Amino acid sequence: MLELIRRDGLARICRLHTRRGELETPCLLPVVNPRLITVRPRELYDIFGFQALITNSYIIRNDPLTREAALRDGLHQLLDFPGVVMTDSGTFQSHMYGEVEVQNREIVEFQRDIGSDIGTVLDIFTEPEWGRERTAESIEVTLARTVEAEGLKGDMMLAGVVQGSVYPDLREDCARRLADMKVDVHPVGGVVPLMEHYRFADLVEVIVASKKGLRPDRPVHLFGAGHPMLFALAVLLGCDMFDSASYAKFARDDRFMFLEGTFRLQDMKALECQCPACAGHDLEEIRGMTHSRRTELIARHNLWVSKMELERVKRAILEGDLWELVERRCRSHPALLDALRSLGKHQEFLERFEPLSREHALFYTGPETLNRPAFLRYQRRSRERYQHPSTEVGITFEEPEKPYSRTLRGAMGSILEISDAHFHVISPFGPVPIELDEIYPISQSLFPKLVDQQTRERIDRLMEDLAHNHGYRMGAIWEGEGTLEILRMLSKGRGCFDIDMARVGAVADYQFGKGAAEALLEGNVTLVKSKNVDRIRNVLVDGEHVASLRAEDGFFTLHPAGARRLLGGLAAPRSRVVVDDDSVEFNRKGRNVFCSFVLDADPELRPQDEVMVVDGNDVLVAIGRAQLTREEMLCFRKGVAVKVREGA
Amino acid sequence: MLELIRRDGLARICRLHTRRGELETPCLLPVVNPRLITVRPRELYDIFGFQALITNSYIIRNDPLTREAALRDGLHQLLDFPGVVMTDSGTFQSHMYGEVEVQNREIVEFQRDIGSDIGTVLDIFTEPEWGRERTAESIEVTLARTVEAEGLKGDMMLAGVVQGSVYPDLREDCARRLADMKVDVHPVGGVVPLMEHYRFADLVEVIVASKKGLRPDRPVHLFGAGHPMLFALAVLLGCDMFDSASYAKFARDDRFMFLEGTFRLQDMKALECQCPACAGHDLEEIRGMTHSRRTELIARHNLWVSKMELERVKRAILEGDLWELVERRCRSHPALLDALRSLGKHQEFLERFEPLSREHALFYTGPETLNRPAFLRYQRRSRERYQHPSTEVGITFEEPEKPYSRTLRGAMGSILEISDAHFHVISPFGPVPIELDEIYPISQSLFPKLVDQQTRERIDRLMEDLAHNHGYRMGAIWEGEGTLEILRMLSKGRGCFDIDMARVGAVADYQFGKGAAEALLEGNVTLVKSKNVDRIRNVLVDGEHVASLRAEDGFFTLHPAGARRLLGGLAAPRSRVVVDDDSVEFNRKGRNVFCSFVLDADPELRPQDEVMVVDGNDVLVAIGRAQLTREEMLCFRKGVAVKVREGA
């Protein structure tokens, strides 16, 4: 059973509960070949801290010695590994050597009988060069075998493999059908040839298609992926588990894995690695070692680099800069840049998991950054949810410093006056109404000063859209340092256009959807500002504290009075999470909402959204922040759905 | 005295000869404050392997205790450091606290008297916000003080600091005047505020301007630069030495340096670092340490990260992928991306040091890659040196698979037929004549399949240029895998357009300049091909072996017969290095040409160019590859100017 602990978009840190205890993901399972040990399983567990490994049941079964030992003493004793042991079924061998002489039933039963914690169906490896038909047919066989395995697995966890070659629709369909079966782990199979040929863009398509079909409460295992250069990207797309024999295979022919790629010992001109395996050794010394000692050293290096990168990726999930990490990693090879660029096709899908905001600023690393779901999010919400202030009275500078001109368009940070007298800040997000210029990611983003062609053209296009969609007539543009501050002062000075009132209304609608501002702010509004900086902190309506504006991301934190107003103004299920009566009392006391008690939720919820927890009669129970999407809340049986801040 | 060992463009690995022995650059000099030791100098030397450090003579002089000890026992004993000790003069203190009460004469003499190996003039720190005039005036004072110091330094090496705030012309002028003085090391000063405010694009301007003015045989020291995120970029621009107090300063307020930036201990959610300082510690433990222990640990971490990055940068110089490394590093922060983009302004300057070819393939990491000097090199040489084959008879495919069309333009790898029947491969380098498609960097470059807008528009523009400059009429375009191979087969099959003959001629002109093909190939040409792959290996004319075509970069290796032909056909000084008579006999025996014996050379020489070594009467002495440009050969007094392959 899988429990989600922390997440950033599709990327997640989870706990997989197994009969051998908990396995933290994302994780790498080193491949151990019992007939050719490079690094002892005990060392993998004790020194490297790998909680799980994967070995091949087909190889064990083919060798009478290992077969007997495994059946007699069990897999864990055979390998001397106290952690989780996953087994593969021989599918990869069939990919390598054509057929294998074993039946699905036999190999699944064997895995169960030797005490494998996670056994794998004997699926059919769909090769990238296969046609649709052959692929589709072989998927049917894989699925039939998975059904057969369900009945044989006993209390062993079962890995049901997503196949489908490079056909996204077949992958998604296969995944969807596997999601309905009694399977515990979902490897994405048949991808090794794609990785071997650096077809990373195709790999992205395969992973995304599989994720679309699978259910969120099962770990996704990228079968055969073990190169650290891929981890960040694969985790970003929602992969939880990796395995690899490469650390040892590469080591045997003197190849070092690095985040930047794989390097041959004979080509390397220096070794600056300080990993526990390399520290204190230099190239000459390593070249002088016996092959077996050298292989061990390089294998350990490869394992350390892999382990460290997974730790780095986890840290990025926790600190909110995984996208930045992925964009950096994908500059290591043009084929990875292709993969990064291909993410643009999936902005729509990724946006469904994009959090409301992040702790880390959004860094622009190149035009590919514009494909991040955060950009689509802003485009859509500002178009659908933003209404410019009704006031017809506007501010006008004494005299426009510069007239509107083509050359000025897209000058970042400059101000565009809309003819009916409200103002937009020009940014790579497009023209941003100044009322929204403090919400994530607008004011939490960093762009280079030298604007590239693609960004400039994007800005121009978005300005056209604005004029087009809203029928705005473009006004003057003002430029230069502090223009925005001047504007704010002016707007306050004149009082004709109250930027503060406009801001609370605009943010409410942007955050909770149209109608929210009306519901939340109906009445006599007072804004309490922080003394030191001139920023709105608390919003009171008719003397009641309805909401606070967070400094870090510019969005609202609701208070009970505000939540009740929203409940009244926004029709169910908007901004709601409905909980079971058994949960109500706990949540009233301020305890978190657990997935198993969620009856329903707003399908539009995004991670970190501010939500109202209600009972079956739509009565307010608590207020908090959603950790999951609706689908996830309803699917997971363990873990927190809503972090409750305040009971009602 | 500086000796260049290996180089890639302006980046270089050198040996600085000092009275304390050799110092390998690029290197970092940790700043040691004798009154506040964080990591003991002895440990810096023994454990970290820092061969040099920098300390502040002004601080030592102001404290009676340290002053007496330094004068009595010398600086090295005071610090217990056996390596090279450089001293600063108090300039930074004047930047920090306004004035300093010491004279240039006093502080220079003091540095000399306490046994500093490299002493620094009391220059005037030009602040970024200063106006031109004030900056220009203060430079005069700095230069006057430098002249004064020349007379006082004794056998201490003297550091003459380049100042000039953010005015490139003032920086270059200051540098040029310093180059004429008896100075040994050239710090680039006044840059700390730029780095503190992430003004990395301005930093690039300052470094480039200084490099333009300075002489190549002196090390350039980027004063106060100690963040590893900057090393790769600064070394690419020709910086040799760095120093920093940051490792300790940052450590004191709990900040970890990483390649990706600086992270506060309290903000960090995890620590995956495996450097010798961090290995075995976790965040909780570190947070629990006493401040002094924590400071030491973080300082050591900061030093390890810095040292490792410099090692990584050296490795990149050796392996030929420093540009790739810099482009990756500059994705860590938008301000670094600005710096990377600003390199485009200096393509012209950088091209003068761009090697003929590299071992490592050229990787495309984004539109910024198009600013690499390799692109300018190809544009220029193909325009100036390429002549399309005289043959009027052409190949035509049985039927064009696709007609020429707008949508097809810029489709990489497709073939463009020029109306007079020769052929270009369409690439981000522009349309490349198929005769040139095997030279570096054309066939040694990797681009993503998904072509970005900027690259596509560039390709289109270059195709227009081709049509325009050569008056070509665009023919059909053929596309698809292996088109080029089909074309080659056809061309061979028909024999009408001999691709091989065309290739040797085109490469000769491209490599040595117009007229080279005529001189080299006059007569009866035979091409010897490698048996296994269908590639030209050796070129014989009238039975004489004149040249070989290198598989790795597609350029010629000359043989004596070929060299003599070129000497006859190309007027001096083209492709020549003229050596002193004292050197002639050694070089004839195949020994390398050393800088001190070079009388003159072709000003158009580029590193790795194939050159003819001649005596004063233009008689061939040897053949080899240039390691340096003409200016460098004439400037350096130590080191190899030409790696001789064969004496004549």
Measured in angstroms, the CA of B43 and the nearest CA of chain A are apart by 16
DSSP A420: T
Query: Please, what is the Cα angle at B325 between B319 and B331, to 5 degrees?
Result: 175
More confident residue, B450 or B312: B312
Measured in angstroms, the CA of B364 and the nearest CA of chain A are apart by 6
Cβ partners under 8 Å of residue A521, min gap 6: A504, A505, A508, A539, A541, A546
Q: In this predicted structure, which of A184-193, B463-472, B474-483 has the lowest mean pLDDT?
A: B474-483
pLDDT, residue B401, reads 42
Q: Is the pLDDT of residue B483 over 70?
A: no
What is the bridge-based pairing of β-strands B84-88 and A593-594? unpaired
Q: Are B552 and B509 in contact (CB under 8 A)?
A: no
The reply to whether residue B448 touches residue A335, judged by beta carbons under 8 angstroms, is yes
Measured in angstroms, the CA of B380 and the nearest CA of chain A are apart by 24
How sure is the predictor about A533, in pLDDT bands with cuts at 50, 70 and 90? Answer: confident
pLDDT, residue A402, reads 40
Encoded tokens for B198: 């992430």
What is the bridge-based pairing of β-strands B422-427 and B430-433? antiparallel
More confident residue, B369 or A443: B369
Distance between CA atoms of residues A599 and B7, nearest Å = 67
pLDDT, residue A461, reads 86
A266 at B interface, C-beta within 8 A: no
Closest CA relative to residue B261, chosen from A363, A333, A428: A363
The reply to whether residue A331 touches residue B327, judged by beta carbons under 8 angstroms, is yes
Q: Are A353 and A317 in contact (CB under 8 A)?
A: no
The reply to whether residue A367 touches residue B367, judged by beta carbons under 8 angstroms, is yes
Which is the catalytic residue, given A8, A88, A509, A609? A88
Which is the catalytic residue, given B46, B73, B80, B88? B88
Distance between CA atoms of residues B324 and B317, nearest Å = 11
Q: In this predicted structure, which of A330-334, A559-563, B281-285, B463-467 has the lowest mean pLDDT?
A: B463-467
Considering only alpha carbons, which residue of chain A is nearest residue B453? A454
Q: Is the pLDDT of residue B495 over 60?
A: no
Q: Is the pLDDT of residue A360 over 80?
A: yes
Residue A542 appears among annotated catalytic residues? no
Of A275, A311, A365, the CB nearest to B337: A365
pLDDT, residue A101, reads 85
Strand, coil or helix: B250: helix
Q: In this predicted structure, which of A578-582, B358-362, B530-534 has the lowest mean pLDDT?
A: B530-534
Q: Is the pLDDT of residue B134 over 50?
A: yes
Q: Is the pLDDT of residue B339 over 60?
A: yes
Closest CA relative to residue B225, chosen from B212, B239, B237: B239
Query: Mean pLDDT highest for which of A73-77, A471-475, B466-470?
Result: A73-77
Hey, where are the domains in chain A? 2-349, 387-490
Rounded mean pLDDT of B43-68?
96
pLDDT, residue A245, reads 94
Distance between CA atoms of residues A194 and A164, nearest Å = 13
**Widest pairwise Cα distance in chain B:** 92
A604 at B interface, C-beta within 8 A: no
The reply to whether residue B272 touches residue A312, judged by beta carbons under 8 angstroms, is yes
How sure is the predictor about A499, in pLDDT bands with cuts at 50, 70 and 90? Answer: confident
The reply to whether residue B315 touches residue A269, judged by beta carbons under 8 angstroms, is yes
Q: Is the pLDDT of residue A222 over 60?
A: yes
How sure is the predictor about A434, in pLDDT bands with cuts at 50, 70 and 90? Answer: confident
pLDDT, residue A464, reads 79
B366 at A interface, C-beta within 8 A: yes
Roughly how many angstroms between the first and final C-alpha of chain B, as a whole number?
32
Distance between CA atoms of residues B387 and B369, nearest Å = 27
Q: Indicate the average pLDDT of chain A.
A: 91
Q: Which CATH class is domain B2-349?
A: alpha beta
Rounded mean pLDDT of A572-594?
97
Q: What percent of chain A has pLDDT over 70?
A: 90
pLDDT, residue B492, reads 57
The reply to whether residue B334 touches residue A367, judged by beta carbons under 8 angstroms, is no
Encoded tokens for B338: 């600005």
Q: Chain A interface, mutation test: which of B266, B306, B452, B455, most A Cβ atoms within 10 Å?
A: B452
**Tens-digit pLDDT profile for residues B157-183:** 999 999 999 999 999 999 999 999 999
A281 at B interface, C-beta within 8 A: no
What residues of chain A, 429 to 468, have a C-beta less than 8 Å from chain B? 446-450, 452-454, 457
pLDDT, residue A634, reads 97
How sure is the predictor about B405, in pLDDT bands with cuts at 50, 70 and 90? Answer: very low
A337 at B interface, C-beta within 8 A: yes
The reply to whether residue A315 touches residue B454, judged by beta carbons under 8 angstroms, is no
Cβ neighbour number for residue A586 with a 10 Å cutoff: 18
Q: In this predicted structure, which of A69-73, A484-488, B7-11, B569-573 has the lowest mean pLDDT?
A: A484-488
Distance between CA atoms of residues B646 and B559, nearest Å = 8
Q: Is the pLDDT of residue B411 over 90?
A: no
**Tens-digit pLDDT profile for residues A28-42:** 999 999 889 999 999
Helix (H) or strand (E) holding B641: strand B640-647
B311 at A interface, C-beta within 8 A: yes
Rounded mean pLDDT of A526-546?
91
- Which residues in chain A have their CB less than 8 angstroms from residue B453's CB? 367, 453-454, 457
Distance between CA atoms of residues B627 and B5, nearest Å = 9
Rounded mean pLDDT of B634-640?
96
Q: How much is the ipTM here?
A: 0.91
pLDDT, residue A643, reads 98
How sure is the predictor about B435, in pLDDT bands with cuts at 50, 70 and 90? Answer: confident
Cβ partners under 8 Å of residue A513, min gap 6: A385, A570, A574, A575, A604
pLDDT, residue A471, reads 62
pLDDT, residue B393, reads 36
Provide the strand spans (E) within B157-219: 157-159, 186-188
Considering only alpha carbons, which residue of chain A is nearest residue B318? A269
Q: What percent of chain B has pLDDT over 70?
A: 90
The reply to whether residue A364 touches residue B338, judged by beta carbons under 8 angstroms, is no
How sure is the predictor about B394, in pLDDT bands with cuts at 50, 70 and 90? Answer: very low
Measured in angstroms, the CA of A15 and the nearest CA of chain B are apart by 17
Q: Is the pLDDT of residue A340 over 80?
A: yes
Encoded tokens for A22: 């908990």
pLDDT, residue B209, reads 98
Distance between CA atoms of residues A529 and A562, nearest Å = 18
Measured in angstroms, the CA of A411 and the nearest CA of chain B are apart by 16
Encoded tokens for B235: 């070394």
The CA distances from residue B471 to B240, B307, B466, B467, in Å, are: 47, 54, 7, 5
B638 at A interface, C-beta within 8 A: no
**Tens-digit pLDDT profile for residues A380-417:** 999 899 887 654 334 444 433 443 333 333 445 666 65
Q: Is the pLDDT of residue A460 over 90?
A: no
Measured in angstroms, the CA of B536 and the nearest CA of chain A are apart by 25
Provide the strand spans (E) within B536-633: 536-541, 544-549, 556-558, 576-579, 593-594, 598-601, 610-614, 620-626
Q: Indicate the average pLDDT of chain B.
A: 91
pLDDT, residue B391, reads 46
Cβ partners under 8 Å of residue A13, min gap 6: A4, A5, A6, A7, A24, A25, A26, A314, A317, A318
pLDDT, residue B430, reads 85
pLDDT, residue B465, reads 80
Q: What percent of chain B has pLDDT over 90?
A: 79
pLDDT, residue B490, reads 57
What is the bridge-based pairing of β-strands A445-446 and A362-363? parallel
What number of residues does chain A have?
648
Of B276, B328, B446, the CB nearest to A331: B328
Closest CA relative to residue B360, chosen from A261, A134, A557, A602: A261
Distance between CA atoms of residues A194 and A207, nearest Å = 12
What is the bridge-based pairing of β-strands B620-626 and B640-647? antiparallel
How sure is the predictor about A474, in pLDDT bands with cuts at 50, 70 and 90? Answer: low
The reply to whether residue A364 touches residue B334, judged by beta carbons under 8 angstroms, is yes
